[in-house]
Structure 1
Amino acid sequence: MSDRALEGLDDRQREAVTTLRGPVAVLAGAGTGKTRVITHRIAYGVDTGAYSPGRVMAVTFTSKAAGEMRARLRALGVEGVAARTFHAAALAQLNYFWPSLAGDTMPAIVDNKVRLLAHAADLIGIQPDTPTLRDVASEIEWRKVTMRSIDQYVAERPNGIGRLNVGRLADLQRSYEKLKDERRQVDFEDVLLACAGMLEAEPHVARAVHEQYRHFTVDEFQDVSPLQHRLLELWVGDRKDICVVGDASQTIYSFAGADATFLLDFSSRHDDARVVRLETNYRSDAAILAVANELMRGRPGALHLAAAKGTRDTQSPQSLPSVTAYVDDESEARGVARRIAEQLAAGIDPRSIAVLYRAHAQSAEIVRALADLGIAATVLGGKRFFELPEVRQALMELRAATVAPIATGFVETVRDILRSRGLTDEPPAAGGAVRDAWEARAAVLRLAEEAPEGMSLREFTDDLLRRARTQDEPSLRTVTLATLHAAKGLEWDHVHLIGFAEGQLPIGYATTFEQVDEERRLAYVGITRAGRTLSVSWARGTRERQPSRFLREIGTRTLSARDGSSSSGAPGVRRAPTRRTVPADDRPGRRG
């Protein structure tokens, strides 16, 4: 059985998988198979008898990633591993121990922090606007995950937020905490704080947790906050069986408290740590990796990615990733849309194409340009697939149909129901909401057509409900539009990275060295999402933007210049300005 967990691994991956006793740090570059290594390492430990599944905790940052980890472990024949987010694991422990410690049930979780903040503001006689309240909510989250008190936070934040001076900002945070306590509620950050506090204050609880979980794996370790790291230390105790996996070059949540030094300093914190570097990239062609390596050259913790054998080693000017300059944003959007239309005409699956950008506001022009060409697109960050009204309606009708006998195969029943709701054999010519609805219904039909032979309609609808619970969403046959943050962890064969200009990437409020370095890592994430082709573009616009400084750092050896309009020359080598005109207290991470 242990041989199965080692199948298809390269030498470095095998080293990571077979090193079962910690501490172990796996430095895994983009596309090097980190999730494969994590799951195969756990499976190998179980198969060899080194691990008991119920004593393994695998921690990650999103419910989707945790669900994928459980699915991969099931495929390897491993059940019973606690693959959870930090919050889910902490909440489970609080729910278990709270009644015996407090003699009562666990407080409710705040469902809307901004709304509660608005009530807290009313109580102290102020009325901040909604954007300000969103910023305050983000600041509360950052303060807690970095383990600062309100007084400590205020001392470091002398300028306040928006129209709230520092005194009113402190008053609002205290009012929020008081109102939350009065309503017997906790927010998500309190869940981590309370769990850590419980483990520190109650030795018998700590002993019980240590007895339950003996082997720990943490994914995306570059994204842990000081609070999460403290909680992890309490979970692990004085044991050494911990494996952390991450890539410092993909640290893009510093604004939310992520601290890559926990990954970079892991071997110094653990004298006997084993460090394994994964640098063979199985996703991208060599020409794309050359761009990524140039961008991150000399940065702390940067890995030098090399293409796996069998990947295209394209180095001719015609096959290099391209950079294109446009006159304005509309021209850029239309130019990118035309290139996507050419790709679709050449038979490329729309699901393998993505347009990535720094901020949500940049999506409007590209959505319009694609719609004008009749190209369907899905914007990540919108409604989840199973929350779409077309999908919910279809699921309701399919559930209702399970009570009646079915004369034909269930796929025909699904097709008939979807046709009655507007599904046609061919998609609508235009883009927009009508096309979006068609794509959603078509995805439901495709799931039915791809279902295992012999599946019943009841089993099919049960599977849809399971997918909805675990956020296992099908891919729509559309081009994907996404911010660079939303794109992390995903991949496409063909990526169009737009807005590569000063003020957009790096974004205008990134003024310090650390903030600009985070923008660099965002660009790196975007570049390494691409498998076969990469096009980069920027638009001068009415404000006479300059090309991103990152283009100058990458240079022309790895990027070929294309003329997008009346702009000429090689935009990748122009010198970007160094002066900033945006106030220095604008911090990255202001959501919205």
Structure 2
Amino acid sequence: MSAPLDSLDEQQREAATALRGPVCVLAGAGAGKTRVITHRIAHGVDTGAYSPGRVMAVTFTTKAAGQMRGRLRALGVEGVAARTFHAAALAQLNFFWPTVARDSAPAIVDNKVRLLAHAADGIGLDLDTPTLRDVAASIEWRKVTMRSIETYAADRPGGVGRLGADRVADLQRAYEKLKDERRQLDFEDVLLACAGMLEAEPRVVQAVREQYRHFTVDEFQDVSPLQHRLLELWLGDRRDLCVVGDASQTVYSFAGADPSYLLDFDKRYPDARVVRLQTSYRCAPEILEVANELMRGRPGALRLSAAGAGGGERPVPQVTAYPDDAAEARGVAGAIAAQLRAGADPRTIAVLYRAHMQSAELLGALAAEGIPATVLGGRRFFDLPEVRQAVLALRGASVAPMSSGFVDSVRDVLRSLGLTEEPPPAGGAVRDAWEARRALLRLAEEAPAHTTLRVFTDQLIARAKDQHEPAMRTVTLSTLHAAKGLEWEHVHLVGLAEGLLPISYAGTFDEVDEERRLAYVGVTRAARTLSVSWSRGSRGDRSPSRFLAEIGTRTLHAVDARATSVARSRPSAAATGRPTRSGRVR
């Protein structure tokens, strides 16, 4: 057996040894999809089936691509193009554009909202920033779904905010005209321009297809029509394609993601090998029961089972009702304080919610308990001013002989920048800066013996490039969208009330289904413990989320008597968005 396969289970090994496409891997939460992708590529290289330079592994975030390259390096594989769709398309544009257009490639728009504001001024529109952001989102959706401005106006007759559809179309035209005048491309144009170049230039498409023979696409449920078209152009009439995804984690439909490409893969390729990874190595059985109930009967849903009983106590996930949001925040903060007193590492705890606005109350409650917290989705770790300052200072110190040991030298540099032995009070920028510097020191303490300052700073720069960020010793607060792809030992899922999850504007069957998948993502981020909560709101007019009723008393333990009735009464299909036996919503 090839060494890359030694650590895989039977289903993972089946996927990793299917070296010729088409292959579809349906991988549930915690089922080891990244492990399968990287081990499959390593096995292909190990057996001579693949040349690393002719493999492209496509994923959706720069961080995920960096992690994939890191895992491949650990398996002894170098030279694989592990990139996002945009990074791959931009590289091809920059390489071929001078030959095709006899000019350098256009610059990339660095701020779409600012450019939109200039375009709005040009046609006499005075718009606030939120409206401009919404129009920017409408442009992104139009392009990734491959619609013209005219088609978009017909498909979205309601317009954007107070702007009617005609004025939105006028603003989009003005934006495109201004962008062309400045010789710029926006993020979505990169994909459009690359696809157009491949369609129009036989020499280019031949060169690309000669370069890349084997394709793997991660998170295939999130592919948009434009990304799928680009993938088709890369492939041509070849079939060496492996896609990996989970329809239950489709949470970007609003941004153009189309899960039908994953769900209908075996229709497009009737001879495709389909492998289902339904063993979760992340979640406790009790948590998987909640997830399975939530997604019961949904298209493409996998029935997950735990890899083993595991060790330690595994309490049944609980649901708690609170009288208002402040009480909910205090209750969650108190529960986290108890977990910390019991020995939990704050890095293993997360509070997840539907909307950013929910974070403020939670941050205040955690600070009142003296618990440091970080909101996910803010500035990247290596972009923080105190981190950039520290890396520069460490780099400068590395040119001089070390007067003490490596770790002591790092500590001395960080002390000179403000790191103290005892942390400042939780909450605020001072504590955030202290946590960032402490995370750098912790990386030094965990470094191999005989590491030098020069090597350490080189590693920090490499980590920054791959977005391989250290975990600060703080509790994580995150929206459900930002939490996708991550995991924690202990998860507190808050705001399970109608109007929050599902969100108030989710009115159609498909929109409610997307909200259900978001809840599923939240549940499956938890490895050992899961707590769910909701509040009646400041006016006492909120009701518990329909998703709580769907999960039921068998899998959720009601802590507060006021929440007990949630699990006992099951709403109708019309209320839940669940189909009837005919497949229709009443």
Structure 1: 5+ residue stretches without partners: 581-592
Asked whether the equivalents of residues 323 and 572 of structure 1 are also in contact (C-alpha less than 8 Å), the reply is no
Asked whether the equivalents of residues 323 and 571 of structure 1 are also in contact (C-alpha less than 8 Å), the reply is no
Secondary structure of the 2:559 match is strand
Asked whether the equivalents of residues 223 and 253 of structure 1 are also in contact (C-alpha less than 8 Å), the reply is yes
Q: How does 1:90-489 map to 2 (within 5 A)?
A: 90-311=89-310, 319-489=315-485
Partner of residue 554, structure 1: 551
Inter-CA distance 33–17: structure 2 relative to 1 (3 Å threshold): same
Partner of residue 522, structure 2: 526
Structure 2: 5+ residue stretches without partners: 576-586
Deviation of 1:542 after TM superposition, in Å, equals 2.6
2-side partners of 1:369 and 1:56: how far apart? 49
Partner of residue 19, structure 1: 18
Partner of residue 536, structure 1: 532
Asked whether the equivalents of residues 320 and 563 of structure 2 are also in contact (C-alpha less than 8 Å), the reply is no
Give deviations 1:371-428, integer Å, cap 9, x for gaps. Answer: 0010001100111111222212222222222232222122212111212222222222
Asked whether the equivalents of residues 325 and 538 of structure 2 are also in contact (C-alpha less than 8 Å), the reply is no
Partner of residue 571, structure 1: 566
Inter-CA distance 152–328: structure 2 relative to 1 (3 Å threshold): same
Give deviations 1:438-486, integer Å, cap 9, x for gaps. Answer: 1111111111111222121122112212222221110001111100000
2-side partners of 1:435 and 1:386: how far apart? 17
CA RMSD across the alignment: 1.6
Secondary structure of the 1:404 match is coil
Secondary structure of the 1:558 match is coil
Secondary structure of the 1:341 match is helix
Secondary structure of the 1:499 match is coil
Inter-CA distance 326–149: structure 2 relative to 1 (3 Å threshold): same
1-side partners of 2:109 and 2:573: how far apart? 43
1-side partners of 2:528 and 2:94: how far apart? 47
Partner of residue 582, structure 2: none
Deviation of 1:205 after TM superposition, in Å, equals 1.1
Secondary structure of the 2:242 match is strand
2-side partners of 1:19 and 1:162: how far apart? 49
What letter corresponds to residue 532 of structure 1 in structure 2? R
1-side partners of 2:389 and 2:30: how far apart? 38
Secondary structure of the 2:161 match is coil
What letter corresponds to residue 479 of structure 2 in structure 1? T
2-side partners of 1:97 and 1:471: how far apart? 28
Asked whether the equivalents of residues 403 and 409 of structure 2 are also in contact (C-alpha less than 8 Å), the reply is no
Instruction: Give the length in aligned residue pairs.
Output: 574
Asked whether the equivalents of residues 224 and 258 of structure 2 are also in contact (C-alpha less than 8 Å), the reply is yes
Inter-CA distance 379–14: structure 2 relative to 1 (3 Å threshold): same
2-side partners of 1:385 and 1:396: how far apart? 15
Deviation of 1:312 after TM superposition, in Å, equals 5.7
What letter corresponds to residue 78 of structure 2 in structure 1? E
Secondary structure of the 1:277 match is strand
Give deviations 1:551-585, integer Å, cap 9, x for gaps. Answer: 01111110000028xx46443345669999xxxxx
Deviation of 1:271 after TM superposition, in Å, equals 1.7
Secondary structure of the 1:148 match is coil
What letter corresponds to residue 306 of structure 2 in structure 1? A
What letter corresponds to residue 217 of structure 2 in structure 1? V
Asked whether the equivalents of residues 57 and 217 of structure 1 are also in contact (C-alpha less than 8 Å), the reply is yes
State the percentage of identical aligned residues.
73
1-side partners of 2:281 and 2:453: how far apart? 38
Asked whether the equivalents of residues 285 and 313 of structure 1 are also in contact (C-alpha less than 8 Å), the reply is no
Asked whether the equivalents of residues 349 and 491 of structure 2 are also in contact (C-alpha less than 8 Å), the reply is yes
Give deviations 1:310-369, integer Å, cap 9, x for gaps. Answer: 436988xxx210000000000000000000000000001111100000000001111000
Asked whether the equivalents of residues 284 and 527 of structure 2 are also in contact (C-alpha less than 8 Å), the reply is yes
What letter corresponds to residue 241 of structure 1 in structure 2? D
Partner of residue 42, structure 2: 43
2-side partners of 1:511 and 1:302: how far apart? 22
2-side partners of 1:304 and 1:569: how far apart? 26
Deviation of 1:108 after TM superposition, in Å, equals 0.2
1-side partners of 2:126 and 2:238: how far apart? 50
Structure 2 length-normalised TM: 0.96
1-side partners of 2:317 and 2:308: how far apart? 20
Asked whether the equivalents of residues 497 and 536 of structure 1 are also in contact (C-alpha less than 8 Å), the reply is yes
What letter corresponds to residue 138 of structure 1 in structure 2? A
1-side partners of 2:231 and 2:276: how far apart? 23
1-side partners of 2:263 and 2:572: how far apart? 31
2-side partners of 1:313 and 1:241: how far apart? 44
Give deviations 1:214-264, integer Å, cap 9, x for gaps. Answer: 000000000000000010011011111100000000000000000000000
Pair 1:505-2:501 in alignment: yes
2-side partners of 1:392 and 1:10: how far apart? 42
Asked whether the equivalents of residues 5 and 43 of structure 2 are also in contact (C-alpha less than 8 Å), the reply is yes
Asked whether the equivalents of residues 286 and 313 of structure 1 are also in contact (C-alpha less than 8 Å), the reply is no
What letter corresponds to residue 370 of structure 2 in structure 1? G
Asked whether the equivalents of residues 285 and 309 of structure 2 are also in contact (C-alpha less than 8 Å), the reply is no
2-side partners of 1:226 and 1:569: how far apart? 44
Give deviations 1:72-105, integer Å, cap 9, x for gaps. Answer: 0000000000000000000111111100110000
Partner of residue 511, structure 2: 515
Inter-CA distance 140–549: structure 2 relative to 1 (3 Å threshold): same
What letter corresponds to residue 117 of structure 1 in structure 2? L
What letter corresponds to residue 243 of structure 2 in structure 1? V
Secondary structure of the 1:532 match is strand
1-side partners of 2:172 and 2:463: how far apart? 38
What letter corresponds to residue 448 of structure 1 in structure 2? A
Of the structure 1 ranges 427-436 and 41-50, higher mean CA displacement relative to structure 2 is found in 427-436
1-side partners of 2:313 and 2:295: how far apart? 21
2-side partners of 1:469 and 1:463: how far apart? 10
Asked whether the equivalents of residues 292 and 304 of structure 2 are also in contact (C-alpha less than 8 Å), the reply is yes
2-side partners of 1:206 and 1:446: how far apart? 47
Secondary structure of the 2:83 match is strand
Of the structure 1 ranges 405-414 and 244-253, higher mean CA displacement relative to structure 2 is found in 405-414
Secondary structure of the 1:301 match is coil
2-side partners of 1:46 and 1:430: how far apart? 49
1-side partners of 2:417 and 2:79: how far apart? 41
2-side partners of 1:71 and 1:553: how far apart? 40
2-side partners of 1:438 and 1:191: how far apart? 39
Deviation of 1:429 after TM superposition, in Å, equals 3.9
Partner of residue 587, structure 1: none
2-side partners of 1:399 and 1:312: how far apart? 43
Asked whether the equivalents of residues 132 and 162 of structure 1 are also in contact (C-alpha less than 8 Å), the reply is yes
Of the structure 1 ranges 401-410 and 257-266, higher mean CA displacement relative to structure 2 is found in 401-410
Structure 1 length-normalised TM: 0.95
Secondary structure of the 2:424 match is coil
